Structure formats: C-alpha cells, structure tokens
Structure 1
Amino acid sequence: MNIQEIRDQFPILKQQVNGHPLVYLDSSATSQKPYAVIEALRDYYTNYNSNVHRGAHTLGSLATDAYENARDKVKSFIHARESAEIVFTRGTTASLNLVAQCYVREFLKEGDEILITLMEHHSNLIPWQQAANKTGATLRYIPIQPDGTIRLEDVEEAITSKTKFVSITHVSNVMGTIHPVKQIAAIAHRHGAVICVDAAQSAPHLQLDVQDLDCDFMAISGHKMAGPTGIGVLYGKKALLEQMTPYEYGGEMIDHVDLYESTWKELPWKFEGGTPNIAGAIGLGAAIDFLQQIGLPNIRQHENHLVNYALEQLSLIEEISIYGPRKPELRSGLVTFNVSDVHPHDLATVLDSEGIAIRAGHHCCQPLMRWLNVSSTARASFYLYNTEEDIDALVKGLKRAISYFKYVSQ
C-alpha cells in the first residue's frame, strides 16, 4: 500500500476538527484503528459473541478459537518460543504490575537491588518502588546522557551481584530513544539478574524478537499498535512463569477447587482469571495482521523519514528546544519539544483550534521532567498513516502560535 491507501484504511482521519482537516500527531498516547480492526470487533459482537473456554456450544467454540488464534499471532509477532508464554492483560501497566506482584515481590529480598532508568514511564517505575518497599530491596537508577541515551559502560557499572531485577523501556515515550536492550540483557544475565522490557512504544514500530533480545519479560499495549484499548500482553519465559503464583483468583484460572485449597491451570491461563477481554484480543490479532501486511521494516523506514524531516523543520525555529537524540536512527517516531515562554498546554490548545492533535504535559514521566528542568513538554508522535504534510501543518501552526503569544505578551 502507498501512504494514501494506508490513510484510507483509517476512517477517523477523514474528519475535520474545529473546521480543519484532522492532523493526528498523538499516536504514542494511542494509535488510530483501521477498518480491519473495527470490523473484527463488529464481527465478534455480531456473529459469535460468547465466553471462551467454558461452553461446548458452537458460539463458544468459535470465540475460543478466535481468542487463542490471537494468542498465536502475538507469539509469532514477537517470536516467542510457544503460545504458553503469552499472557493477555489489560495493557502494559497491568503486565508490569503482574511481574511486580508475582515475581519481584515473591523472589526479591532485603539487600537485593532493582535497576531502572530516570526516563521510565510511571507504569515502569511505581510498581518497582512499591515492590522495593514491600521486600526491602533497593531501587537504583542507570544514569542517562544529556541527549537521552544510555552508555553501556554505565550499565556495566550499575549492574552488580546485588542486582536481581532490571526493567527498562525499549523506547522512551519522551526522548524517543531506542535503548540497546539486547546488550543490557546480556549484561544483566551475566550477573544473574532478570530483565523486563517495557515495549509499549517499540511494539508498534520495531520488529521484536524476544529470543534474540533474550529478555525475560516483555510488556505490550494493543492500543498503541492499531489495536483496541484494554488489551495487552505479558511475555514471560516459560520457566519463570511456571515459578510464579497468580495474584488474581477466580474462574478460568483454576484446575481443581476444594473447600480449603485449589490448584491452578497450566500456562498461560493461570494468569487470566475471570472473563478476559475477548473482543480486545481478537482485535489485537487483526491489528497484527494489518501491521504485518504493511511490514514493520516499512513502518520503521517511513517513521525514520518523518522524524528526520520533523527534526530538520523544527530546528529551523529559533524558539523551539528539542529533547532526545538528534540522530533519527537512535530514536523512534516522536519528537518532544518546548517553545520558549509558551506553556505546552497553551501550545496544544492553539494547535487543536487548527485541528492539530499533539500531547502536552509530563507524559507520566515526572522524574525525567525534573531532570530536564521543565514542568512539562509538548510531543508530536508519528505512525504509519502520517505524512510530511502533517509535519508541515504542525510547523505552520507552531509559527502562528509563537507569533500569537509574542503579540499578547507585548
């Protein structure tokens, strides 16, 4: 498909906002959905809506087959060894909390160390804060460079024999940095530590191979990769998942229940208590089919071009400060910036009046904002349906906003 054919698959892009054609530059928060995903949801609810795994009737069998087929698609998408390593969750946040509750709180103790970075999203920071408080382990941070990159020599120094758990974002949702998680995993394993990868921002854009990366856990959100909201994935190495005890109990996840004790189903179902988000999983499977039809390498190449173009154009505006690596190959499809003397929320409001949607705020990264010495930033993020014309519209809107705020401040 060419770019126009791709855009035609996303019905929301055809609308106008505030009298202007929609320019959607907020895909890092949530991506738009193609007809293929919308139709998959409609088809489930219209033709075979039923619970999974429990019923012997036809609709139940159809729903179960579609749900488990989606699991197989995720397995192939991230190159896991087997589908038993794929646990459906509500999203990245739920996946990370599952690891915190069922692995870190169970297996770490006082004197152990948990290692993360300053640029983690709150969902990859707070669970480890709380786990450290409960276990007596110490939470430590890998230092970052001024451009938002990580030096492997700093990782080597930070990981010691006390380090038992490392969790790191694959792609920063603020700086856009693509971290060398394969090399970090190798260092962690050399010291006997387990590593978890927050792939919320990488799964939509990069080809993932959990076996090549050799990560122990990986967390993914469906809604950032053209799938529905409320569905995500926890990948875990089978040996680790088998050691872990579930923390949500009830139907679906049990094998045998007696009056005073119970046993759990085998993987992955022991972590999927209650009725799952069946439609969400089916929609995620449809999103994976769609992305693979386009091709992740093609998506990456397209975004790399857009980021390079955006960096070039925004760098020409004197009032703009850009955060993160300047080399497009080191970053994913987003650019975070500030305009001098203009609050990001005011900037986003002015742009929205022209139909341009960006994100403004601390992006659930308050420690990183303090490290940057700002309260918040503006962020434009791109996906497979964005164009150079979208960036041109952003640049024009920014120039008009800068002129406006200069005028009103006089």
Structure 2
Amino acid sequence: MMLKDIKSYFPILNQEINGHPLVYLDSAATSQKPIQVIEAVKNYYELDNSNVHRGVHSLGNRATDAYEGARDKVRKFINATSTKEIIFTRGTTTSINLVASGYARQNLKEGDEIVITYMEHHANLIPWQQAAKATGAVLKYIDLEADGTITLENVRKQITPNTKIVAMGMASNVMGSINPIKEVTQIAHENGAIMVVDAAQGAPHLRIDVQDLDCDFLAFSGHKMCAPTGIGVLYGKQAILENMEPVEFGGEMIDFVGLYDATWKELPWKFEGGTPIIAGAVGLGAAIDFLEEIGLDNIAAHEHALAAYAMDQLETIDGLVIYGPRDANKRCGLVTFNLDDVHPHDVATVLDMNGVAVRAGHHCAQPLMKWLNVSATARASFYVYNDEKDIDKLVAGLRTAKEYFNDVF
C-alpha cells in the first residue's frame, strides 16, 4: 500500500467544508477511519453480532473468535508475551484509571512518590493526583527544557528510592516531543518504581515493543489509530496484573458467585466486567491490519517529513510562534502554534471557513499551558492521509486569518 494512495481509503475526506475540500489536521484528537475498518465493523453487526464467551451457538463462537483474535493482533502489535497481558478498555483514560485505582491505591502509602511531567495530558495527571490524595503519596514533576523536552539528568533528579510510580506520555499531545521511555523506565526500575506509559500519541505513529521498553503498564486508544471510538488497551506485565484486584465487578469477569463472596476469572477477563466492546475490538483489529500493511516505520518517517515541512512553512508567517522541539525527528506529527495576539479559537474558526480543521484550546493539558505561559494554542496534527498540499492550505488559511484580524484591529 503506497502512502500517496492512502487518502482514497478514507471516505470522510471526500467532502467539502464551507465550499472548500476538507483538510483534516486534527488526528491527534481522533483519526479518521479507513473503509477497511468501517467494513469490518459493518460486517460484524450484519453477520456475527452476538455476545462473546458465554454462548455455544455459531454466532457466539464467531463473535468470540473475532474478539479474541483482535486481542492477539494487539499482542503482536506491541510485542507482548501473552494475550493475558492485553486488557480491552474504553480508551487510554480508562486504562490509566484502572492502574491508578487497581494498583496505585492498593500499593502506595504516605511518603511514597509518584513522578510525572508537566507535559502530561489530564488523563495521565488527574488519576495520579487522586491516588496521591487517597494514599498520602507525594506527586512530583520532572522539569522541562526550554523546547519542551526532558533530559535524563532531570529525570534522575526527581526519581528517588521513595518513588514507586513513574508515569509519562510517549509523546506530548501539545508539543509533539517524543520522550525517552526506555531510558526513563530503566531509571525507574533502578529505584524500585514501576513505569506507566501513556501511548495515546505513540501507538498510532511509532513502533512499540513493550518487551524492549520493559515498561510495566502501557495504555492507548483505538480511535487515534484508525479504529472506532470507545475501544482502548491496557498492557500490563502478567505478574503485576495477577496480583491486582479488579475495579469493576459483574458479569463476564466472574468465575464463581456465592451469596457472600465471589471469585474472578483468570487474566485478562477478570478486568473486563460486563459485555465487552466487541465491535470496537473488531474495528481495532482491522485498524492494526491496515497500519501494519502501511508499516509503522513508514508512517513515522512520513510524519517526521510533514512536521519538518510544516515548521519550515509556518516560520515564514510573521508573528507566528511554534511550541516544542524544532528538530522534526524529536517530535511526532503535529505542530502547535499561536498567531500574533489572535485567540486560537478565532484562528481555528477562520481556518474552518477555508475547509481546514485544526484543534484550538488547552488540549487537556492546562499545567503545560501554564508552563508555556499561554491560555491556549492552535494545533495542526498529521496522519497517514495528509500530505504537503494539506500543509500549504493550512499556511494559506493562516495568512488569510492574519490579514483579516490585522484589518479588524
């Protein structure tokens, strides 16, 4: 599958917005879905729709095979050792909350440390705030460099023998900066801490090998990597998951129930209470097939090239400030910026009138906005279906916005 032909697989992109061909530059929020994923979900509902694991009829068996087959695709996608280490959730937020509730609150005590960074998405910040409040643990932050990156020197300053959990995004959803997860994991383990990785901005763009990273938990969402909304993954090392208690109780995750006690199924099902997200898992499996056919290395190279081109072109606009590392190889495929004194929402509105979709706001990263000394930013994020022509339209739209607001003010 050639990258130059990819856009044709995404039917939603074949439309006009406000009289202009759609240029979708908001994939960091959610990616569009290729026809292969749409058809996989459609076929499941048309042909195989049934609950999983419980029935012995043909539809139930086919649905179970599809659901568990998707789990094995995830296992291979991140190179986990066993499907027992792959838990399906509603998304990254649910996955991290599961760790914060099922592991952190059960293992932390007063004076223990949780270490994160200023760049974390709220989904990888608030659960640790709440776990710290509930247990008396101390929440600490790793300092950032001027370009929004972290150094291992600053990591070592914050991680101590009292640190029990280190949680970090694989890449910033605001600045795009890619973090040295493998090296940070090693430092965490040297101090007796576990490593939790938010891969929401990593899994769609970068090849992940959890055995090589040696992280203890890793979370990501399907909807940012061409899969449906409402499906996500929590990877956890089997030995740790075996010792954790579930946080949701009910059907599907039980083994035996008496009047006053119950026992749980084995991994991974003890963490999947209730009817699971079957169609979402089927769609995630199809999305993984799609991305693997393109090649994660090809995707990463394509996005690095687009980020470099975007920064080069954006820097030709007077009064535009770009946040994050200037080296495109140190960032994933997004560029966050502000234009003069124009509010990002106004910038995004003008761009939308020209058919260009970008994100504007605090991007669920308010502590990082405070660190950047801004209230909000605009963000253009790229994926497999974007090309340099899309960036040219972004730049043209920004020039239009600049001219408009200069005339107004």
TM-score tier by shorter-chain length is over 0.9
Matches within 5 A, 1:209-288: 209-288=209-288
Could you tell me how far 1:3 is from its partner in structure 2?
3.3
Does 1:11 find its partner at 2:27?
A: no
2: distance between equivalents of 1:297 and 1:111? Answer: 42
The residue that corresponds to 2:54 in the other structure is 54
1: distance between equivalents of 2:131 and 2:105? Answer: 6
Could you tell me how far 1:2 is from its partner in structure 2?
2.8
2: distance between equivalents of 1:33 and 1:209? Answer: 24
Does 1:306 find its partner at 2:306?
A: yes
The residue that corresponds to 1:351 in the other structure is 351
The residue that corresponds to 1:333 in the other structure is 333
SS of alignment partner, residue 368 of structure 1: helix
Does 1:33 find its partner at 2:26?
A: no
The residue that corresponds to 2:197 in the other structure is 197
1:356-383 CA distances to partner (integer Å, 9 max, x unpaired)? 0000000000000011010000000000
1:30-74 CA distances to partner (integer Å, 9 max, x unpaired)? 000000000000000000100000101000000000000000000
Could you tell me how far 1:146 is from its partner in structure 2?
1.0
Give the alignment's Cα RMSD to 1 decimal: 0.5
Could you tell me how far 1:171 is from its partner in structure 2?
0.3
Give TM-score, length-normalised by structure 1: 0.99
Ranges of 4+ aligned residues in structure 1 off by more than 6 Å: none
Q: Which amino acid aligns with 1:50?
A: S
1: distance between equivalents of 2:247 and 2:26? Answer: 34
Alpha-carbon contact 2:3-2:294 (below 8 Å) kept: no
2: distance between equivalents of 1:331 and 1:3? Answer: 20
SS of alignment partner, residue 205 of structure 2: coil
The residue that corresponds to 1:20 in the other structure is 20
Q: Which amino acid aligns with 2:369?
A: M
Matches within 5 A, 1:371-410: 371-409=371-409
Does 1:67 find its partner at 2:97?
A: no
1:283-316 CA distances to partner (integer Å, 9 max, x unpaired)? 0000000000000011111111100000100111
2: distance between equivalents of 1:276 and 1:187? Answer: 36
2: distance between equivalents of 1:18 and 1:399? Answer: 18
The residue that corresponds to 1:107 in the other structure is 107
1: distance between equivalents of 2:10 and 2:406? Answer: 37
Q: Which amino acid aligns with 2:376?
A: S
1: distance between equivalents of 2:321 and 2:297? Answer: 30
SS of alignment partner, residue 223 of structure 1: coil
Count of residue pairs brought into register by the alignment: 409
Matches within 5 A, 1:110-121: 110-121=110-121
Q: Which amino acid aligns with 2:184?
A: I
1: distance between equivalents of 2:159 and 2:314? Answer: 37
1: distance between equivalents of 2:140 and 2:80? Answer: 29
1: distance between equivalents of 2:51 and 2:222? Answer: 21
SS of alignment partner, residue 407 of structure 2: helix
Alpha-carbon contact 2:2-2:294 (below 8 Å) kept: no
Which stretches in structure 1 are left out of the alignment for 5+ residues?
none
SS of alignment partner, residue 179 of structure 1: coil
1: distance between equivalents of 2:317 and 2:214? Answer: 42
Q: Which amino acid aligns with 1:78?
A: I
2: distance between equivalents of 1:168 and 1:44? Answer: 35
Alpha-carbon contact 2:117-2:143 (below 8 Å) kept: yes
2: distance between equivalents of 1:45 and 1:17? Answer: 30
